[in-house]
Amino acid sequence: MLLWLTLALLWSTTCWAQRKSGWVSPLQPIPLVVWALPWSRTNSSLRTVPLAWRGCIQFWAEIACMSPCGLFSLPACFFHHLENYKLGEDLYFSSTPDYENDITGIRVSIGDSDVIKSIQLRYGSSWRGSHGVRGGKTQEFLLRPREHIIGVFGAHKRYLRHLVIYTNQGRLAEFGQAVGSRFSALPGQTEMVLVGIFGLYNPLGITSIGFQWEVPRVG
């Protein structure tokens, strides 16, 4: 509880993303309901959040922004590898870091009312564990050689309901329907690509999601 209160005090009151009406053109910032932070190269068991970074987090159904701050450094175990962590009825998930392979595919399972129930990532030639809950209809998108995810857009209404991923080869994949508040997540630097995801879920589906960005593992 003390950690959450500390975070709440450090978050600023406004968000850089301006609310838009309707869908926006690709790669424009729109209201965020996601976490976004760089992926540290330090030992996974000792990973820490960089002292200065900017991102947004959905917190108690409200949107707040984290501004650059040098006053604290959170243990990354708070963000990574906490399969038993709970926020209310929600459980935490995170993808396992892969320092040799890039993301080469994504599977998204969609249930009733376009609720996204689970997400699964493929690194190299191997599919990793699914994050979320079982059930729903699964859709799959495979990346080409040297193709990377460079932007994510979607919509959130109590649950994650829509995902659109953009690649550096000009392709996109869409999952679910654009219902609720729209969000965007982009890397802090142009050379960065998506390397992992994390978030919260409950028995019905994914309630929050975050994205980690880093330079590609494979040239």
Express each pLDDT in 101-120 by its tens digit.
Answer: 999 999 999 998 899 999 99
Instruction: Evaluate if residue 61 carries a pLDDT over 80.
Output: no
DSSP letter at 26 equals T
* pLDDT computed for residue 76 by the predictor: 29
For residue 51, the tally of other CB atoms under 10 A from its CB is: 12
From CA 109, how far away is CA 133, in angstroms rounded? 9
**77: pLDDT confidence band, cut at 50, 70 and 90?**
very low
More confident residue, 218 or 157: 157
From CA 4, how far away is CA 83, in angstroms rounded? 18
**87: pLDDT confidence band, cut at 50, 70 and 90?**
low
Q: Tell me the average pLDDT across 30-38.
A: 36
From CA 171, how far away is CA 145, in angstroms rounded? 13
From CA 91, how far away is CA 93, in angstroms rounded? 7
Closest CA to 149 of 108, 192, 119, 110: 192
Q: Tell me the average pLDDT across 183-203.
A: 94
**218: pLDDT confidence band, cut at 50, 70 and 90?**
confident
All structural domains of the chain: 30-54+76-214 (2.100.10.30)
Instruction: Evaluate if residue 23 carries a pLDDT over 80.
Output: no
For the entire predicted model, the pTM comes to: 0.65
More confident residue, 90 or 17: 90
Express each pLDDT in 132-188 by its tens digit.
Answer: 999 999 999 999 999 999 999 999 999 999 999 999 999 999 999 999 999 999 998
